[in-house]
Amino acid sequence: MKLFHYILSLLILAAVTSCNLDEYPVDTASNQAIFGSASGLELYSNSFYNILPGTDVGVFQGDDASDLVARNGVDSYLAVNALSPVTSGGWSWSSLRNINYFIENAETSTVAEKNHYIGLARFFRALFYFDKVKRFGDVPWIDKTIEVTDSVTLYGPRDDRFMVMEKVLEDLDFAIENITLTSDASSTRITKNVARAYKTRIALFEASYRKYHTEYGMQDTANEWYQEVVTTANDITGFTLHRAGQEDRSYREMFITKTPYADETILAVALDASLQVFSSANRRFISPTYGNRPSLTRNFVNTYLNLDGTPFTSNPDYQTTPFVEEVKNRDLRLKQTVRLGDYHRTENGISVVAPPNFNQTFTGYQPIKWCYDERFPYDDESRNDNAHIIMRYAEVLLNKAEALAELGTMSAGDWSETIGALRARAGITGPSLSTLPTEADPYLANYYLGKFTNPVLLEVMRERAVEMVFEGLRPDDLRRWHIGELFEEAPMTGMYVPALGEYDLNSDGVMDVYFYQGEKPESSNPAIAYVDVSPSDAAGRIQLSNGTSGEVIWNPGVREWLDKKYLYPIPEADLIRNPALGQNPGWE
């Protein structure tokens, strides 16, 4: 029976997957076997899961091209003259054809449970179109399989993005209404709550886009979408913030467990060593030769609060505080996101102290979120089998908090249940857990280029970045908030270095890094990392902001932001095939 299901699934995919809009799926003898039974509908609907983010690169690398992260090189999105209609991609519609073919056939099915499976299909169609609208803006709305003779659709113009997003909302609402699965202990299946959670993400993006991209003149419609976020978030039940036995581990444990914690994880992909299904998290974060070697920037690390809930930047000496001191008594998520002095790893089964390693990090703020503590084989091979988390309840709380802040309706109770709850899990105490801020933090206001002055919203933005870093949301946040300048202008800063010479980064009496200029010094310590900070304008070099002292400054290469990059260009080949699509502004 299992072999039959496998072969049948291959037949389905062969029938419905194609690369051009004019390739129409042909009915086969297997049509009745699929659409005539609940098991057939379920088997077919499993193919939709391919739309979810892949696990090799994973959501954990999505923030690498953002203001929060210093990385190796410059992404093609930001490199000068790298993105163009010739190099652009993503104009692929095979997943949509697969979904529409299923919906059309399932609607005529006599299976009693058909609306559940149609709800699944429409959920994935919403995800498909959300990604297309984010990338290209206006796109053709297609809700049927296209016949070869349908030249009007095949070679027609794009539809208005705002109309398409209304259709996306309709699909999400249908999915929420009709998906019958309400919970899933494995956190790997699409449930009613998964659809609700995605609706909060999508509606928040759309609300912000309408409010801050004033060139479209849709600001008056933004609040309707913010309200959708709040209402839908309130409907999500059965989740809480995960807490482990040890307070200083509860956050990070979610990202290094093989089995998703169902108390907070709404959707994940469970990896499996026995099936050779892995991610490459350790290699991409740690290997000096594989991946982007992402490191947090000091400008961002400065936003982590003190444990008493006060801003770290309220200390008048914060800019010249060395690493060993600046990480003390901070939001516990800091030590669960990057290596601090008490971090240990295992090598060949032996626990070893592992402070930041400047052979692997550019700024000194070296990530551990998503990474196993064991070196072998994970650092050298793509063999991570920790669960790949795609959606968490923490994000829902942040989505709700931001929407309430934008609507101006957040109460002290709302604050305590969202921002306060997240901070409490992070070990933070004091009034910031229950009291709405009344004055804008000047550091945050300056960080966000003076474009945001609402003190409540700024604190939500602080919390969102700290809680969700390395979960792939940051680039979309910058785009929806219309602050793309941060892609280019955010300095790639690192820890403060008082002077050239050796430094012990964890106070164990062993020197870990040596900053020098000119000739490399001699040392009897084979583990020390030598960092040449000689004056240079070359890409790929580290400098100190004051020459022989100051913040570490990493130069990944020239980054370029142009407002036309809020949308990708329509790929040239697709525009040649259908000139009616037109090109996005600035890419003509």
User: Domains in the chain, please, with CATH?
Assistant: 2-55+84-235 (1.25.40.390), 393-489 (no CATH)
Please spell the DSSP secondary structure of 69-80, one letter per residue.
EE-SS--TTTBT
Residue with tokens 């039959």: 4
Residue with tokens 């999105």: 77
Residue 94 amino acid letter: S
Listed in sequence order, the residues at least 6 apart from 494 whose beta carbon sits closer than 8 Å to its beta carbon are: 70, 295, 297, 298, 362, 363, 364, 365, 542, 551, 552, 553, 554
Please report, for residues 138, 152, 174, 570, 580, the alpha-carbon distance to residue 160 in angstroms, rounded to integers and kept in the order given.
5, 17, 22, 15, 14
Give, for all 588 residues of the chain, the pLDDT tens digit.
333 333 334 334 444 444 454 443 445 546 888 999 999 999 999 999 999 999 988 999 999 999 999 999 999 999 999 999 999 999 999 999 999 999 999 999 999 999 999 999 999 999 999 999 999 999 999 999 988 778 888 889 999 999 999 999 999 999 999 999 999 999 999 999 999 999 999 999 999 999 999 999 999 999 999 999 999 999 999 999 999 876 667 899 999 999 999 999 999 999 998 889 999 999 999 998 888 999 999 999 999 999 999 999 999 999 999 999 999 999 999 999 999 988 999 998 899 999 999 999 999 999 999 999 999 999 999 999 999 999 999 999 999 999 999 999 999 999 999 999 999 999 999 999 999 999 999 999 999 999 999 999 999 999 999 999 999 999 999 999 999 999 999 999 999 999 999 999 999 999 999 999 999 998 778 889 999 999 999 999 999 999 999 999 999 999 999 999 999 999 999 999 999 999 999 999
Number of Cβ within 10 Å of residue 547's Cβ equals 12
Q: How far apart are the first and last CA of the chain?
A: 54
From the number of C-beta atoms within 10 Å of its C-beta (0-12, 13-18, 19+), residue 380 rates as middle
| Residue from 213, 169, 198 nearest 566 by CA | 213
pLDDT at residue 2 in the model: 33
Residue 502 CA to residue 334 CA, distance in Å, equals 24
Residue 253 CA to residue 360 CA, distance in Å, equals 23
| Residue from 90, 79, 536, 180 nearest 71 by CA | 79
Listed in sequence order, the residues at least 6 apart from 575 whose beta carbon sits closer than 8 Å to its beta carbon are: 85, 581, 582, 583
Strands 529-532 and 513-516: parallel
Tell me 384's DSSP state.
B
Residue 76 CA to residue 565 CA, distance in Å, equals 11
| φ and ψ at residue 279, rounded to 5 degrees | -120, 175
SS3 state at 574: helix
Q: Are 399 and 229 in contact (CB under 8 A)?
A: yes
Listed in sequence order, the residues at least 6 apart from 481 whose beta carbon sits closer than 8 Å to its beta carbon are: 208, 212, 448, 451, 452
pLDDT at residue 563 in the model: 98
Tell me 380's DSSP state.
T
- Give the chain's largest Cα–Cα span: 79
pLDDT at residue 427 in the model: 95
Radius of gyration of the chain from Cα atoms?
25
Q: Indicate the angle between helix axes 2-16 and 38-45, nearest 10 degrees.
A: 60
Residue 516 CA to residue 531 CA, distance in Å, equals 6
pLDDT at residue 271 in the model: 94
Beta bridge partners of 501: 515
Beta bridge partners of 553: 493, 543
Token duo for residue 70: 């210093």
For the entire predicted model, the pTM comes to 0.94
Q: What is the dihedral of CA 401, 405, 406, 407, to 10 degrees?
A: 100
pLDDT at residue 248 in the model: 67
Residue 193 CA to residue 505 CA, distance in Å, equals 44
| Residue from 97, 77, 198, 95 nearest 569 by CA | 77
Residue 124 CA to residue 153 CA, distance in Å, equals 22
Residue with tokens 């027609």: 156
Cis peptide before 377 (omega within 30 of 0): yes
Residue 173 CA to residue 266 CA, distance in Å, equals 18
Residue 30 CA to residue 12 CA, distance in Å, equals 8
Which alpha helices (DSSP H) does 257-352 contain, by range? 281-286, 298-301, 323-326
